[in-house]
Structure 1
Amino acid sequence: MTFQKYPEYKDSDVEWLGEMPGHWIRGSLKNLAWIRNGKDYKDVESSDGEYPVIGSGGMFSKASQYLHDGESVLLGRKGTIDKPLYINGRFWTVDTMFYTEVAKGTSAKFLYYYALTIPFEFYSTSTALPSMTQGDLLNHPAAIPSNFEQTQIARFLDHETARIDALIEEQQRLIELLKEKRQAVISHAVTKGLDPTVPMKDSGVEWLGEVPAHWDVVPTNYRYEIQLGRMLNEQRAQGDHLKPYLRVFDVQWNAINTTDLPLMDFPPEVQSMYRLKSGDLMVNEGGSYVGRSAIWRGDLDECYYQKALHRLRPRDVKSDTAEFFLHVMEMATQQGVFVAGGNQTTIDHLTAEQLRQYRFVFPPLAEQLQIAENITDVVSKIQNTTSEAEQLIGYLKERRSALISAAVTGRIDVRGWQPPASAKTPESAQEAM
């Protein structure tokens, strides 16, 4: 879609604003609205309240009273300062959120879209918690059109951003469906195999259900050596045998960070116990990442690991491969195997003894390799489609921001714009419902 420019422009005297339409007025936000402070909500908070309580992070409670009634643009004072909100109705804002009283002759929706273009990173104070002042916001430059043009720009942006948002939502739904498909592919492959005609048997494990009759269902310890890493402490960060080692956050799903690893002392007498070999499966044992796994590919000649990680090594490389068991671990976490007492809360620690006793499925090696290869092919295609969807979302978001900026600064002329005949107005859409 292309848009024409205004017939005449003039210098705005603001570097980032550049030229503006010749008949627009050079002003600032204080020409469009007054900024008011939010207030403490404790005295008005009520579970039965009918008015939203809004902070810089959005609505979080209800109130029995309200600070403002009508259209307003909310601007973050502290915390999340770069997410202006448009609201129409009665509400209460807390002291981390400014609200505005829109000036007569100003379109509140135009003010909202204008606020989206404010370079908040330029104004925010250089502290751990970003903050804004009324003065900075009120004096932020603006190119101000007539009320008619403000309203027209807002109508145009309402329509166009709604179209873009619908496309973004469509791609986000696609990503969720692809995620579900990925999980389903892995779960089916590692519990049912690739041959739908193979005889099945009861695994004896509720979350596994039926599995191919020729597969083994045994405790992990029967097939893998499980070894926790070496305890980390300040003393061991010094010594004569400093070696790179992995931490929990270095082990993501099917990916291991080997860049800028810290060093810890691993003297010769313990090196054989903790030294990694290519093909080892690393499993996180604690925190909110229990079960998260990746295969050590031998990216470093020598590497070790801390106690918060399990190392799983096949007892017989002619019988098992971590390529298959990696997918088993992913399915197990998806199925909620590593939760505490059935309450869907991740267990604090997956101890070595617990992991040794969990019963999993083990097909013959050739079948493990075939299943792992099939999963890799299917997941690769899913990931490619997911990446394309994510790239499209990024483009659409950039397009949305650019369109808003172009309209509210006058780089495009939408005075003659009308919605397509097929587009429902808010009123007709409501009637259709």
Structure 2
Amino acid sequence: MRRPLRDLADVHYGRSPNEVVHENGSIPVVGTGGVYGRAVRPLFQGPAIVVPRKGSLGNPQYISSPFWAVDTTYAVLPKKGVHARWLHYSLAHFDLTKLNEATGVPSISRDWLFKILFEDPGEKAQSRIAEILSTVDEAIEQTEALIAKTQQIKAGLMHDLFTRGVTADGQLRPPREEAPQLYKESPLGWIPKGWKISNLGAEITGIDSGWSPNCENASASFGEWAVLKTTAVVWDGYNPTENKSLSPATAHYPRITVKPGDILITRKGPVDRVGVAVHVAATPSSLMFPDTVFRTRLLPKSEFSPVFLAFELSCRSVQKFWWARKVGLADAQVNLNHSILKRTPLACPDTNEQNAICARQHEISEAISALSMDLEKLELVKAGLMQDLLTGRVPITLGAQPEATEVAASV
């Protein structure tokens, strides 16, 4: 049976938290983006759902404990017999942006919120649906936590690989504190004695700048010419699907076409997006790089492998060198230039050690990729379950259902 929100919950306006916010408070203060402070006393009791009233209209927040809802939100308090988690999932599944009635700052009126219709399967089925979706949410949170932990391990390993290197048996050298005789000082800090010192300018053919014509935001089809977006060059590697299609009337230039073996470096943008370096192992033949990205290639005589060089350009010591030299008036828009790049100090192990370092790096990157794929699958399963269960398309049969844990385990 379809019922309006008015029949399922009471909806109250939030209030400014200025009078109750305190550093020693224990009550969460909830805004349109989630919890952002603590208060000394609550405005409402949980469980409840905080729905944005102004600004960003998506992402309703489930709150299980007493809380303070700020004045740009509504506090949605379920009525007796209505499961709070089920109502939260129902509100999250509904596109709240459709209720925007403002021409300036997006906003939702309480009257429109009250009119939203939900498929109400009854109290027991609500509880069952909430149990199933909460179990999938727990699996998503666990996977996100595992990804975050593995990324932290990767960051620590990357530091060790580029300061200690690996021995012939694939193990990290002992730390300098334990074996100082194995290390020497360099512009990059302490590095293994057998490593050579160079700079980027001495190892590359040059630094090429790209081009960013006006074009549609749609990605190119197979064989069509396109320009990469800056988001094609990310810490996870090269992603050629992040591109913008060129119109047939726009010229394309072979000189700035991306080729296998290229190293791409973001040169312009927000401070944390400048200096991202990737190696292009393979790429479609009809992609050009934009003017926000530099392209370089190794000289034939260089002792670096391009895969290793891209990893080293991403390591802490090189990033620290670039960070101190990025130019710009604000963190929102900074640049790297040719001179900075060419002066970048580099450490060069022998070929076997470079390959061993790359193998260790690849192994942990593959682990993160596998976890990310698991997360994507879980999110797709959750979206499908929400569509099926919250719309009534697949009714809940009580008493004969598998345990909710089995739903997540089957993903």
Give yes or no for TM over 0.5.
Answer: yes
Kindly report which structure 2 residues correspond to 1:325-344, keeping only aligned pairs within 5 A, or say none. 325-332=309-316, 336-340=320-324
Residue number in structure 2 paired with 1:204: 185
Aligned-residue offset at 1:97: 1.0
In the alignment, which of 17, 30, 33 is matched to residue 54 of structure 1?
Answer: 30
Report the structure number with the largest CA radius of gyration.
1
What amino acid is aligned across from residue 34 of structure 1 in structure 2?
Answer: D
Label 1:414 to 1:79 Cα distance change in 2 as closer, same or farther (>3 A): farther
Residue number in structure 1 paired with 2:298: 314
Query: 1:137 and 2:102 equivalent?
Result: no
Label 1:358 to 1:141 Cα distance change in 2 as closer, same or farther (>3 A): closer
What amino acid is aligned across from residue 363 of structure 1 in structure 2?
Answer: P
* Aligned mates of 1:299, 1:409 — CA distance in 2: 42
SS at match of 2:296: strand
SS at match of 1:217: strand
Does the aligned pair in 1 maintain the 2:167–2:353 contact within 8 Å?
no
What amino acid is aligned across from residue 60 of structure 2 in structure 1?
Answer: P
Query: 1:356 and 2:342 equivalent?
Result: yes
Kindly report which structure 2 residues correspond to 1:230-379, keeping only aligned pairs within 5 A, or say none. 248-253=230-235, 254-255=237-238, 259-260=244-245, 279-286=261-268, 287-295=271-279, 300=285, 306=291, 308-317=292-301, 319-332=303-316, 336-340=320-324, 348-364=334-350, 366-367=351-352, 370-371=355-356, 374=359, 378=363
Does the aligned pair in 1 maintain the 2:228–2:287 contact within 8 Å?
no
SS at match of 1:288: helix
Percent identical among aligned pairs is 17
Does the aligned pair in 2 maintain the 1:193–1:212 contact within 8 Å?
no
* Aligned mates of 2:38, 2:73 — CA distance in 1: 15
Does the aligned pair in 2 maintain the 1:143–1:409 contact within 8 Å?
no
Aligned-residue offset at 1:403: 7.2
What amino acid is aligned across from residue 205 of structure 1 in structure 2?
Answer: S
Does the aligned pair in 1 maintain the 2:89–2:386 contact within 8 Å?
no
Residue number in structure 2 paired with 1:85: 61
SS at match of 1:283: strand
* Aligned mates of 1:77, 1:136 — CA distance in 2: 11
Aligned-residue offset at 1:40: 3.4
Does the aligned pair in 1 maintain the 2:11–2:74 contact within 8 Å?
yes
Cα distance per residue 1:54-80 (max 9 Å; x no partner): 222122234456543454332222334
Residue number in structure 2 paired with 1:7: none
Does the aligned pair in 2 maintain the 1:229–1:311 contact within 8 Å?
yes
Query: 1:35 and 2:11 equivalent?
Result: yes
Query: 1:72 and 2:56 equivalent?
Result: no
Query: 1:222 and 2:199 equivalent?
Result: no
Aligned-residue offset at 1:204: 1.5
* Aligned mates of 2:104, 2:184 — CA distance in 1: 53
Label 1:359 to 1:394 Cα distance change in 2 as closer, same or farther (>3 A): same
Cα distance per residue 1:251-298 (max 9 Å; x no partner): 33432556436999999xxx98x8877634222234322321134668
In the alignment, which of 151, 173, 192 is matched to residue 179 of structure 1?
Answer: 151
In the alignment, which of 145, 151, 163 is matched to residue 135 of structure 2?
Answer: 163
What amino acid is aligned across from residue 315 of structure 2 in structure 1?
Answer: M
Label 1:410 to 1:30 Cα distance change in 2 as closer, same or farther (>3 A): farther
Count of residues in Structure 1 that have an aligned counterpart in Structure 2: 373
Q: What's the C-alpha RMSD, in Å, of the aligned pairs?
A: 4.8
* Aligned mates of 1:300, 1:419 — CA distance in 2: 50
SS at match of 1:68: coil
Residue number in structure 2 paired with 1:21: none
* Aligned mates of 2:21, 2:310 — CA distance in 1: 49
* Aligned mates of 1:265, 1:127 — CA distance in 2: 39
Structure 2 residues without counterparts, runs of 5 or longer: 174-180, 215-224, 326-330, 405-411
Q: TM-score if structure 1 supplies the norm length?
A: 0.65
Does the aligned pair in 1 maintain the 2:47–2:63 contact within 8 Å?
yes
Does the aligned pair in 2 maintain the 1:159–1:419 contact within 8 Å?
no
What amino acid is aligned across from residue 10 of structure 2 in structure 1?
Answer: W
Aligned-residue offset at 1:360: 1.5
* Aligned mates of 2:138, 2:113 — CA distance in 1: 31
Cα distance per residue 1:341-367 (max 9 Å; x no partner): 9xxx99944443333333222234x54
* Aligned mates of 1:389, 1:233 — CA distance in 2: 37
* Aligned mates of 1:266, 1:142 — CA distance in 2: 52
Aligned-residue offset at 1:129: 5.7
Label 1:188 to 1:195 Cα distance change in 2 as closer, same or farther (>3 A): farther
Q: TM-score if structure 2 supplies the norm length?
A: 0.68
SS at match of 2:245: coil
SS at match of 1:52: strand
* Aligned mates of 2:99, 2:336 — CA distance in 1: 47
SS at match of 2:135: helix
SS at match of 2:140: helix
